[in-house]
């Protein structure tokens, strides 16, 4: 139509057919579909809050005292420390799509970009959580995974060296030994999970113990990488398990409790689009801001296996 002598295009053709709300919904759906660790750790929703650091109290547990007749109660001294979560992880995914590409391309192009954006953000978030897990079991936080054990027995310390070092294939005995570490430290029995690489899944599927109904569960479709349950621990598979610095053919898995790692999400995933006239195209950007920290040192143990 004409408005004030100027022809105005009133449809979304003016922005190459991009509708921000749809982009947001589609990318968020793709993100939720592919994320693994971020869906398992304890999450704090601090969206809209100001500040770049969160302090969480971590008090020590007290013990009960015997009460003797005609005596005062025994008071318990305060103890513990605080957990610091730095909200400094900011990652983005951007594409500039020219009008000619949008006009000539198949509808599958849009599906690819929404899936790719969701996948890229979820992989990055999982990687940051894996990085935070380096300090579990008294690890030093470096990519050599000093706090990790080998998956074969669950007790021998992993040694980072060329190849896969002393990493061994995951076994029933290894899983049970790491479970005992959590038990010995009074970590709750519920909300425990095991995250393994595809090679770990292949090994476990070849062991009779892990193909029983008790492991595979009710046969429902696998979602978010969940494979089944073993000894009350949910098992999840992801190709995003990290590789130690020198042991380049090894993969790191985690057996941990939900509360061992804490993630605070300030933003995301947020999706924005802007038509760029100078490029005759639409700029699509998805981003997220969050932070991750260890909450309980012995609430989880990394298990290294050949990749």
Which two three-digit tokens encode residue 137? 């079991």
Q: What is the mean pLDDT of the chain?
A: 83
**pTM of the predicted model over 0.75:** yes
165 or 57, which is more confident:
165
Give the rounded percent of residues in the chain with a pLDDT score beyond 70: 82
The pLDDT assigned to 21 comes to 58
Tell me the domains of the chain and their CATH numbers: 13-58+82-306 (3.90.1690)
- CA-to-CA distance for 148 and 140, rounded, in angstroms? 10
């Amino acid at each position: 139509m004409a408005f004030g002598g100027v022809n105005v295009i009133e449809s979304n053709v003016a922005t190459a057919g991009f509708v921000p709300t749809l982009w947001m919904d589609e990318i968020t759906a793709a993100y939720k579909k592919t994320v693994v660790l971020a869906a398992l750790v304890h999450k704090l929703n601090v969206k809209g809050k100001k500040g770049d650091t969160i302090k969480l109290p971590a008090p020590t547990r007290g013990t009960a005292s015997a009460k003797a007749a005609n005596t005062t109660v025994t008071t318990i001294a305060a103890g513990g420390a605080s957990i610091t979560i730095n909200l400094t992880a900011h990652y983005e995914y951007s594409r500039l799509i020219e009008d000619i590409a949008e006009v000539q391309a198949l509808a599958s192009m849009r599906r690819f970009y929404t899936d790719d954006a969701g996948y890229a953000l979820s992989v990055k978030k999982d990687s940051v959580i894996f990085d935070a897990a380096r300090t579990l079991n008294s690890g030093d936080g470096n990519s050599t995974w000093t706090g990790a054990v080998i998956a074969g027995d669950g007790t021998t310390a992993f040694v980072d060296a060329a190849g896969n070092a002393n990493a061994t294939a995951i076994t029933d005995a290894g899983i049970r030994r790491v479970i005992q570490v959590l038990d010995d430290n009074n970590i709750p029995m519920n909300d425990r999970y095991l995250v393994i690489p595809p090679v770990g899944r292949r090994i476990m599927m070849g062991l009779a113990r892990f193909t029983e109904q008790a492991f595979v569960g009710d046969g429902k479709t696998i979602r978010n990488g969940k494979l089944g349950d073993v000894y009350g621990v949910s098992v999840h598979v992801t190709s995003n398990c990290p590789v130690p610095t020198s042991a380049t053919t090894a993969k790191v898995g985690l057996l941990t409790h939900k509360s061992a790692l804490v993630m605070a999400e300030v933003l995301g995933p947020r999706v924005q689009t802007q038509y760029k006239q100078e490029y005759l195209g639409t700029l699509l950007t998805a981003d997220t801001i969050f932070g991750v920290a260890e909450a309980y040192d012995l609430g989880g143990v990394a298990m290294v296996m050949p990749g």
